[in-house]
A and B are shown apart, each in its own frame.
Chain A
């Protein structure tokens, strides 16, 4: 079954070259990428998850504001009945934050130095869920 993966960024962050490249790499690996680009709001992205029935969501962050944004996002996902959609985070994620992120339900953390093939495998397996 074709995997539909939503990729996007929240807030003012402009560093999108990573997810742009990832979008193309995932496409070349047979994934359908719903590309949301930069400057999304939490509410707007949640609506996208709902309408698009995404199998998996990828958020990329280059600013240290990610914990707060992810908290808001996970809360909004749960409030809107899509809390079970697997979520992966990429970008400048600090190792000290891995535990709190996992506790929030993030199943994939791809910080600096992550390999593309690991991300592709993760997405193909929809974050390891049994869907």
Chain B
């Protein structure tokens, strides 16, 4: 975070000020605590399976002091309508205490579809911010120095290219660019996007391109992979999260190593995007097993030696799927415990769902409560005081081992098929569908009780508020988009598009060409469609739009 606040939009100063702080290391009653607790005598088991926090295999935590040296980042997500709309929501969040900008793009943007696509008009700006061009990204980030302020983007490859394009266009060097996004496209194929929107091999290649590029050019840009939050929500157990996530990571690392990136560099820039589901103990066990699995894999399989490669950082978002529609205030209980699990599990960043998540687009009041919840956890509950507070519990250690063992078995089966094939041929999809069917059956038979769903169901439904935003800005945005397409410099636009196509055809890394294309006013839909064509797919996955040029002409 910056010390120098000159030249920054005053409304954004809030970003730099309201961190979640550690206010005391004493317990509430005044007992002083240590950074962590362990056995009086360390035995071989402890050394090989656990280690102290910050020690290989990092089961007990990535850092020795954990939250004493650095609290988790408090983030909240914004994103709706046109760039101007999101900017407004963004500023309100900062005023409430969030210190990281976290933006979600609307489905067309995240799928690489332009807002003027004939079939998806009703969806523009509804679930996130419409950001189809570099200029729109510039509008959103006006006054935000990307070298000083950490921006997190909740989608995959085009997010980095758009932000990098803005940064470059401002004359700044990419190696000063701060922020993060989630270049995991295999997860998208699995989580409902399907082969139609993200063909597995194509998506994966793109993800590896971005990671290779960032590792070399934007070392301060964090890469969230795997995006295991969506994988879990789609339908996986904690062991499944580790197995499928590691399958994706291993394949990605192998591809990067083939391209000449050292494993130490590649793995160091990665953070695992995880989830905290509703079983407190199972999730704590999962985070621990995950770190151990990661460390051992990096060391034994890839020969990594750098601490930063061996020690996994975890970003966590509490589960939306676990929240219940009826009597939504109960979700405050759920999210608080899930957040506590994440902290006992040692995550580096935490986003909690709002209690009204299943009911409506989060109200500002609900957002406030979500932030206060974390501040209560930090200051009153003592959640951050001690690293791995549940370490040494017989239950937790047993669960940790069991989750790990299940993950090992699942991963073996996936690797036998090959992860790309397992994604393409429906093997992993079937695991997920089976998981969901089991859960549904158990709910129907009352073998699994969820309060407000199959037991203790209140008579009355909640009254959802409606998130209404003025569509005026979106209309202007669409108009402006259309005008841009008319008025942009056609020569440089076309040259950029051809160069992108040719780079992709030639098997090269497409990230720089993507950035250059966006600077030349190529739209996100044109960018993605061109890459698709170069890889042998139809320009538009929805089959309604033709390519804007003939690439082989």
Contacts and interface: CB of A to CB of B under 8 A. Distances in A.
A and B, direct touch (CB closer than 8 Å): yes
Interface of A: 11-17, 20-21, 24-25, 37-39, 41-42, 63-65, 68-69, 94-96, 112-113, 116-117
B122 A68 contact: yes
Contacts of B263: none
A41 B107 contact: no
Contacts of A25: 437, 440
Given A14-B191, A63-B126, A113 B461 contact: yes
B466 A24 contact: no
A39 B196 contact: yes
A63 B107 contact: yes
B346 interface: no
B436 A11 contact: no
A24 B433 contact: yes
A96 B466 contact: yes
Nearest to B452: A113
B111 A12 contact: yes
30 contacts: A11-B107, A11-B119, A11-B120, A11-B122, A12-B113, A14-B188, A15-B192, A17-B233, A21-B433, A21-B436, A21-B440, A24-B437, A25-B437, A37-B194, A38-B192, A38-B193, A38-B196, A39-B197, A39-B542, A41-B119, A41-B544, A42-B119, A65-B122, A94-B360, A94-B466, A95-B463, A112-B325, A112-B358, A112-B359, A113-B452
Contacts of B437: 21, 24-25
Nearest to B235: A17
Contact of B433 (A20, A38, A94): A20
A41 B464 contact: no
List 7 tightest A-B contacts by C-beta distance, closest first. A14-B192, A112-B325, A65-B122, A68-B122, A12-B107, A113-B325, A21-B436
B453 A113 contact: yes
Choose among B119, B126, B461 the residue with the greatest number of A CB atoms under 10 Å from its CB: B119
Nearest to A114: B325
A93 to B, nearest CB: 10
A17 B122 contact: no
B50 to A, nearest CB: 36
B432 interface: yes
Nearest to B434: A24
Contacts of B197: 12, 14, 39
Nearest to A41: B119
Given A17-B432, A116-B440, 5 more contacts: A12-B108, A64-B127, A65-B123, A94-B466, A112-B359
Contacts of A20: 433, 436
Given A39-B197, A65-B123, A14 B107 contact: yes
B21 interface: no
A71 B193 CA distance: 24
A39 B194 contact: yes
Given A95-B464, A112-B359, A17 B436 contact: yes
A63 B453 contact: no
Contacts of A21: 433, 436-437, 440
A15 B127 CA distance: 12
Given A41-B544, A94-B464, A13 B107 contact: yes
Contacts of A117: 444
Contacts of B440: 21, 25, 116
